[in-house]
Amino acid sequence: MTHPRYTPIQQPQPGQPLPDLRHLPTRATRTAGLTTHGPTLPTRHAASPAGDHQIHTGVVMTEEEAARAQLLAELGLELSGHSLFDEIAEDLGKATGFLYGFVNLFGPNAQHFTGLFQPLPEAGHPVLDRSMRLDHGWCPDVVRRKKSLPLHDVHAAPRFSGNPVVDAVGIRSYYGSPLIHPSGVPLGTVCVADPEKRKLEESTRLRDLVAGHGERTMKAIMQGAHLR
């Protein structure tokens, strides 16, 4: 069931690429019936000028976001796809039985699925791109909270059901865990998503599976496995 506050986005035909999620309208513009165009995100206004940083793209970042961007560069983490992280995402998806698995790094302008596991196009499910707007999905909540987020049914709570990804991809369940650098800065998440809801009693097992793959991912990052 689609959340009543939002107009459904037309599902793609089987095997057709999903519209770039970076360009889906935000909650405010969707409610107003407006459309946004292009990859440029709205400027994020500073809560405290002393705690904000400006980069050459014109995006205003918080202190934590600037620290994350610096760490991603220092660690040599490219925001495009990588076979190591694709393997982790695939292992995670298969271990949990979810259609989609991700290693998701947060850049200054978008979320980047450097690890991506998804159904083959001929399976008839939406085909995802490797990036998404910073304000879409549930990974922003995981990064902000720095804690795992187990959603056996995203419609169980209005704050999680009112999400563009629910309509665009038809996601019903989500489990995410943060990738936290030893400095305490979250680099992104590992997560799984699926169009079928899960049983509540499975939540602890699924949460722990995702968290375990998060630990595996951070270990690989800190050992520089992606640079070999």
> What single string gives the DSSP state of each residue in 134-153?
TTSSSHHHHHHHTS-EEES-
- pLDDT digits over 115-166, tens only? 999 999 999 999 999 999 999 999 999 999 999 999 999 999 888 988 888 8
DSSP string covering 24-93: SPPHHHHHTT----SSPPPPPPPS-GGGEEE-TT--EEEHHHHHHHHHHHHTT--SS--HHHHHHHHHHH
* Mean pLDDT of the region 75-91: 95
Is the predicted pLDDT of residue 70 greater than 80, yes or no? yes
Is the predicted pLDDT of residue 43 greater than 50, yes or no? no
> Which are the contacts of 110, defined by CB distance < 8 A and separation ≥ 6?
22, 39, 41, 131, 132, 133, 134
**Dist. CA 140–CA 142, nearest whole Å:** 5
Determine the pLDDT at residue 40.
32
Q: Please give the CATH architecture assigned to the domain spanning 78-227.
A: 2-Layer Sandwich (3.30)
pLDDT grade, residue 112 (50/70/90)?
A: very high
Average of per-residue pLDDT values in the chain: 80
Using a pLDDT cut of 90, give the percent of the chain over it: 65
Determine the pLDDT at residue 119.
95
Q: Which helix (H) or strand (E) holds 218?
A: helix 203-222
Residue spans per domain, the chain:
78-227
Determine the pLDDT at residue 60.
81
Determine the pLDDT at residue 140.
96
Determine the pLDDT at residue 144.
96
**Dist. CA 38–CA 54, nearest whole Å:** 21
Residue 86's region, left for phi above 0, alpha for psi from -120 to 50, else beta, is alpha
pLDDT grade, residue 58 (50/70/90)?
A: low
Closest CA to 43 of 135, 130, 111, 113: 135
